[in-house]
Amino acid sequence: MRHLTTVAIALCGALAATTGPAHAQTFNSSSTGADGAFNPTTNTTLALPATGLFNFTTVSIPSGITVRFTRNAANTAVTFLATGNVSIAGTIDISATSGGNVVGGTFLGSNAGTGGPGGFDGGNGANGVASNTGGTGLGPGGGGAGTGAGFATTGGVVSATGTPGALYGNAELLPLIGGSGGGGGSAELGSTSAGGGGGGGAILIASSGTITLTGTINARGGNGGGGNNPGGGGSGGAIRLVATSITGANGTLDVRGGSGSSGIGVGSGGGSVGRHRLEAYGNTAAVNVNNIPPSLAPPSAVALANGPTLTITSIGGVATPPAPGASFTAPDVTLPASTTNPVTVALAGVNIPPGTAVLIAVNGQTGGNTVTSTTLSGTLTSTTATASVTIPTNRPSVVSASATFTLVATSGAPLYGDGQLVVSRPR
């Protein structure tokens, strides 16, 4: 098994990254250039296409200009590919929003923070109607009631009773996954506790030329809502820059997690930091990384070849849509009133080894989640599995599945990562 080489660095608020002679090596971003040059002159919000992919020729974001994104139905990460140079003097913002604060009445809607593109939403605060326990944040590192979401580390916990979010993902950021949501606070009937912060988004910027960073890329997790029963913070997101060379001074990569809060006798946990990675043959960038060590390496593929996918194909015998939205307010699947628990969830995997364990999580809009394990069977190119789960009957739920396995390099090909995480978007 061959591992990617990384560079040890010392940090003091900023990163000055330098690699050795490049020997005229170049990197190909694989951009088609079909979307032309991207040169915004005013603050801009881009609607993400279904794939999340933009094929630019060049990118130039001037100082004072902020670029944000509207999530697509599948909530994919953002991918900028460029045939030429990329200059970021302004701001790219894929941060999450914070959870709503405690309110004095019974609020029946959602007060969870929203994840950035490629990140996951926070948990809702409890209102005492369906449950006194706050909702678990969405995503593979979702925080339990009042706790922070995990990502590069486990989530934080202060005095809330929920289980903090787990560590997940890898330094290579293959596949590219954002931060998870913090847990909502718990409450009794008559008040509504605070929502958990959303998870920071995820972005890949790949240039066949030079990336010059003098501005900011924000992928922060959302703060947990405040009040007597506060919510947990969402985890920071993911930023991956790949180019022939990376340069620039005083730029910022921000993948900090959202903060928790303090209530009367109860404190909520903060979210984990996210992950960031810089890949180039020549790297002379001086970047502020908020004392969060990034990973450094030569350029590698922008995406996994024959990338693995894991899909929930049906729940209770009802087929899932091609692009589920994983929303509590607009269900992807409506089960017949005659449905009884347990309910069968069917899964399909592609390019995932048979024998791989899959975890199926059921997150109610409030209340703790349940996690069930099953095993994929079949061949590498086509595996299937089923599992029996219990779905709450008095509130909407989001069902998600994840699998972790190891990829091994063969025939001299690059190794993309150990403990590779594959996540189906919540169905």
Q: Indicate whether 92 pLDDT > 90.
A: yes
What was the pLDDT predicted at 427? 35
Do 148 and 68 share a structural domain? yes
Is there a single domain that holds both residue 298 and residue 314?
no
Q: Which strands, in side-by-side order, build the sheet including 357-364?
A: 370-375, 357-364, 397-405, 420-424
Per-residue pLDDT tens digits for 339-360: 899 999 999 999 999 999 999 9
Place of tokens 């139905």: 73
133 and 252: one domain?
yes
242 and 344 fall within a common domain: no
What is the tally of structural domains in the chain?
Answer: 2
Q: Select from 249, 282, 303 the last residue of a domain.
A: 303
Higher pLDDT, 218 or 9: 218
Q: What pLDDT score was predicted for residue 24?
A: 62
Q: Is the pLDDT of residue 15 over 70?
A: no
Query: Are 266 and 380 part of one and the same domain?
Result: no
Same domain, 280 and 316: no
Please give the pLDDT value at position 421: 35
**Which phi and psi angles does 138 have, rounded to 5°?**
-80, 160
Residue 85 pLDDT exceeds 80: yes
Confidence of residue 300 (pLDDT cuts 50, 70, 90): very high
User: In the listed set 277, 303, 329, which residue is the last one of a domain according to the structure?
Assistant: 303
**Same domain membership, residue 144 and residue 77:** yes
Residue type, 378: G
Q: Show which of 279, 303, 327 is a domain's final residue.
A: 303
- Alpha carbons within 13 angstroms on the beta-carbon side of residue 337 total 0
Mean pLDDT of the chain: 87
pTM across the whole model: 0.88
In this prediction, residue 271 carries a pLDDT of 98
Return the SS3 of 126: coil
Contacts of 198 (CB under 8 A, 6+ apart): 96, 97, 98, 99, 112, 113, 114, 115, 116, 119, 120, 121, 122, 179, 181, 182, 221, 222, 234, 258
Residues 133 and 258 in one domain: yes
Per the listing, tokens 């109610």 go with 364
330 or 344, greater pLDDT: 344
Residue 263's pLDDT is what? Answer: 74
pLDDT tens across 243-296, in order? 999 999 999 999 999 999 887 767 889 999 999 999 999 999 999 999 898 999
| Terminal C-alpha separation, the chain | 34
The Cα-based distances of 197 to 154, 267, 378, 418 in angstroms read 15, 14, 39, 29
Residues whose CB falls within 8 Å of the CB of residue 133, separated by 6 or more in sequence, listed in order: 126, 145, 162, 186, 366, 367, 368
Domain harbouring 360, CATH code: 2.60.40
Do residues 182 and 69 both lie within one domain?
Answer: yes
Average of per-residue pLDDT across 62-74: 97
Whether residue 335 sits in one domain with residue 286: no
Q: What backbone phi and psi angles, to 5 degrees, belong to 275?
A: -135, 145
Q: Using the predicted structure, report yes or no on whether residue 29 has a pLDDT greater than 70.
A: yes
Looking at the fold, whether 282 and 317 belong to one and the same domain comes out as no
Does residue 313 share a domain with residue 299? no
Determine the structural domain holding residue 344 and report its residue range.
309-424
Q: How confident is the model at residue 8 (pLDDT cuts 50, 70, 90)?
A: very low
In the prediction, which pLDDT does 140 show?
Answer: 94
